[in-house]
Amino acid sequence: MGRVLAVIIWIITLLSVLLFVSGKWWFPTPISEHAPALDRQFMITIVVVGLSFTAAQIGLGWMVWKYRDTGKSGDRAIYTHGSNRLEVLWTVITAFVFIALGVMGQSVWASLRLHDAPPGSYSVEVVAQQFQWNFHYAGKDNKFGRTDPKFIDDSALNFVGLDSSDPSGADDAVTTALAIPVNRPVELRLRSKDVIHNFWVPQLRFKQDLVPGMEIKVHFTANKIGKYELACAELCGQLHFKMKSYMLVLPEEEIQALQGLPQEQFQAKMVELLAKYPLPTYQ
């Protein structure tokens, strides 16, 4: 029985490790400046995780393989209540490894979250609502038109509540897909009209909740031109799984061409760009 269990534990361990190292399923190709550092930290961590998992399972299998009750009288287990030296040893070693990992695991976070977007960033206001993304662009004046919930009117397509009396909103545009420049810091100002949503682009290695009642500013830099799927990653109700949009990472000149276009032309141009760029291929 013990040997069967040992072999099964080892087989499970082997197959689990193989599934991870096969590379058949893994992160999608990264497209942001911080992603390689995040992926590296993930690799370091998964190696520690994999080694600990494998060592513990091999050890467990070894114990049940080797030690079994023979039923012979006088054949007893080793009588010991433990070893303080071993306790200290494994406590210190694991504390060192785990806390070191924990400290290393803050660097990407700190680089993204502990300071504001650098000057010259491209700003977009993101306003989520149940099952739809709205992206509000400032236009040529780089100033967002004033918004207020009392002006929101979905039936009149004023999804973000633009105040028509504010002149700085005259050149603003609102679309349901996101267009950002490549290789330039992007600042997103995240808001939600109703419940909590989450901005999630797997290739960006980036997530942030959009919380009603708050404006959350986050920033990142995308460095690969293309079209990427954007998903909601916080349960927001019935059609949560359909709350999908696209993020276009565009050359600077295409962003410049978009900027300041009147609403209809902006939207038409976005449709064109969405058709122009294909999605990445997945194996």
Partner 1 sequence: MSVEHHEGVHRHPAPTGFIRKYIFSVDHKVIGIQYILLALAAVAVGMVMSLLMRLNLSWPGTSWPILETLFPTGAPGGVMNPEFYLSLVTMHGTIMVFFVLTTAPQGGFGNYFLPIQIGAEDMAFPVLNMMSFWVTLLGFIVILLAIFVEGNQSLGQLFAGLGPSFAGGSGTVGPIGGWTGYAPLSALGKIAGPGQGAGMNLWVISIAIFCVGSLLGALNFITTLLNMRTKGMSLMRMPLTCWAWFTTAVLALLSFPVLLGGGILLLLDRIAGTSFFIPSGLYVSGLLSGSNPNFPLHTGGSPILWQHLFWFFGHPEVYIAILPGMGATSHILATFARKPVFGYRAMVFAIFAIGLLGFFVWGHHMFISGMSPYSAIAFSVLTLSIGVPSAVKTFNWLGTLWGSRIRFTTAMLFALGFVSLFVAGGITGLILGQSSLDLAMHDTYIVTAHFHLVMGVASIFGMFAALYFWFPKMFGRFMNEGLGKIHFWLTFVGVYTIFVPMHIMGIVGMPRRYASFGEYEFLKTLHPLVLLVSVAAIITISAQLIFYFNVFWSIFKGKKASDNPWEATTLEWTTATPPPHDNFAGVLPTVYHGPYEFAVPGAPRDFVMQTDIDTEVPSGNGHNGHKH
Residue ranges in 207-246 that form contacts with partner 1 under rule CB under 8 A: 207-209, 211-214, 216, 229, 231-242, 244
Q: Kindly tell me which residue out of 33, 45, 187, 226 binds partner 1, with binding defined by CB under 8 A.
A: 45
Q: In angstroms, what is the minimal distance from the CB of 274 to partner 1?
A: 14
CB nearer to partner 1: give 199 or 255: 199
- Intra-chain end-to-end CA distance of the chain, in Å: 42
Task: Tell me which of 14, 21, 36, 59 binds partner 1, using CB under 8 A.
Answer: 59
Query: Site residues for partner 1, window 101-140 (CB under 8 A)?
Result: 101-103, 105-110, 112-114, 129-130
Smallest distance, Å, CB 140 to partner 1? 28
CA distances from 45 to 36, 49, 178, 235, 272 (A): 14, 6, 32, 28, 42
| Cα–Cα nearest to 194, from 247, 152, 138 | 152
Residues in 161-200 that interact with partner 1 by CB under 8 A? 161, 193-196, 198, 200
From 20-28, 136-144, 165-173, 256-264, span contacting partner 1 (CB under 8 A)? 20-28
Interacting residue with partner 1 among 57, 134, 175, 221 (CB under 8 A): 57
DSSP string covering 206-247, please?
EEEEE-TT--EEEEEEB-S-EEEEEEE-S--STTGGG-EEEE
**Range in contact with partner 1 (rule: CB under 8 A) among 22-30, 164-172, 176-184, 250-258:** 22-30
Give the residue from 274, 279, 256, 261 showing the smallest Cα distance to 181: 256
What span, in angstroms and rounded, lies between the C-alpha atoms of 176 and 247? 10
